[in-house]
Amino acid sequence: MENNEIKKEEETFSMPRIGDKAPSFTAKTTQGEINFPEQYKGKWVILFSHPADFTPVCTSEFMTFVKMEDKFKEVNCDLIGLSVDGLYSHIAWLRTIKEKIEYKDMKGMEVKFPLIDDVSMKVANKFGMIQPGESTTSAVRAVFFIDPKGIIRAIIYYPLSTGRNFDEIYRALVAMQTADEFGVATPADWRPGDDVIVPPAGSCGVAKDRMDGKDADKCYDWFFCTKKLGEDEVNKAIKK
């Protein structure tokens, strides 16, 4: 057994980790069958699970994701939702959201990204979205950030009771894309336009050399140097 697998009552659940290849799957969705990752090569994907259709926290989350979908598309990122409900439940719930729910400034929100029917829990189990300490019958609120090469780059888990922060999901995605494009790291709470860290995390000890070579604009100490990176430059590199 791989050491990232959990054996529980004779069933094996996979727990993919950051840096792993995302498990492949085909699935029925509200937008037809999808074949992952083949269909998504060259794109970032946010694969996220929710516990159940027709529940309030999940409804607020879906409406928020719809509101932000164009922002994700603009940075070459597709969204895929999943719960262990069936297709007819998904369709009825999404129709209710569009036709009936008015929440905050959101109304008539139409979910156009695919929502996976995972009644068998096949996909949820491959991604470690069923976490029995929280629930054995529904997925936790998981968010997988998968890069254009199909590698899992970040994972966030929330419990059933807590709605996710979609600004943070978008911010983290843009930070990863910026790190890839410019070979830098991003400090706490970074947003495009803020200074970035050189050299990137993991290459300790040579930061100050960068200062001497004019690669850095400011050093707080020998291990902590930053440089300016304009918002326009970031946007030009990541917006497709």
Active site residues: 58
* Binding residue for ligand BEZ, selected from 4, 11, 17, 56, defined by CB under 6 A: 56
- Nearer to ligand BEZ (CB atom), residue 54 or residue 223: 54
Shortest reach from residue 234's CB to ligand BEZ, in Å: 34
Q: Which run of H or E residues covers position 36?
A: strand 34-36
Options 4-12, 56-64, 124-132, 207-215: segment touching ligand BEZ (CB under 6 A): 56-64
* Binding residue for ligand BEZ, selected from 57, 101, 119, 154, defined by CB under 6 A: 57
Options 13-21, 27-35, 54-62, 182-190: segment touching ligand BEZ (CB under 6 A): 54-62
Residues with Cβ < 8 Å from 64, sequence gap 6 or more? 106, 166
Give the closest residue to 145 by CA, choosing from 113, 169, 115. 169
Under a CB-based contact definition with an 8 Å cutoff, are residues 28 and 116 in contact? yes
Alpha helical stretches, state H, 15-133: 56-74, 87-100, 122-126
Based on the shown chain and the rule CB under 6 A, indicate whether residue 89 belongs to the binding site for ligand BEZ.
no
Based on the shown chain and the rule CB under 6 A, indicate whether residue 51 belongs to the binding site for ligand BEZ.
yes
- Nearer to ligand BEZ (CB atom), residue 55 or residue 76: 55
Based on the shown chain and the rule CB under 6 A, indicate whether residue 101 belongs to the binding site for ligand BEZ.
no
Binding mask 130-159 for ligand BEZ (x = CB under 6 A): ------------------------------
- Nearer to ligand BEZ (CB atom), residue 58 or residue 111: 58
Q: Give the Cβ contact number of residue 25 at 10 Å.
A: 17
* Structure-block tokens of residue 194: 């803020």
* Structure-block tokens of residue 22: 């995302």
Residues with Cβ < 8 Å from 138, sequence gap 6 or more? 51, 52, 83, 84, 130, 160
Shortest reach from residue 60's CB to ligand BEZ, in Å: 8
Under a CB-based contact definition with an 8 Å cutoff, are residues 58 and 139 in contact? no
- Nearer to ligand BEZ (CB atom), residue 143 or residue 198: 143
Is residue 115 exposed (0-12), middle (13-18) or buried (19+ Cβ within 10 Å)? Answer: buried
- Nearer to ligand BEZ (CB atom), residue 50 or residue 210: 50
Residues with Cβ < 8 Å from 131, sequence gap 6 or more? 140, 157
Options 15-23, 40-48, 49-57, 150-158: segment touching ligand BEZ (CB under 6 A): 49-57
Based on the shown chain and the rule CB under 6 A, indicate whether residue 193 belongs to the binding site for ligand BEZ.
no
Shortest reach from residue 89's CB to ligand BEZ, in Å: 13
Could you list the residues that contact ligand BEZ (CB under 6 A)?
51-52, 55-58, 160-161
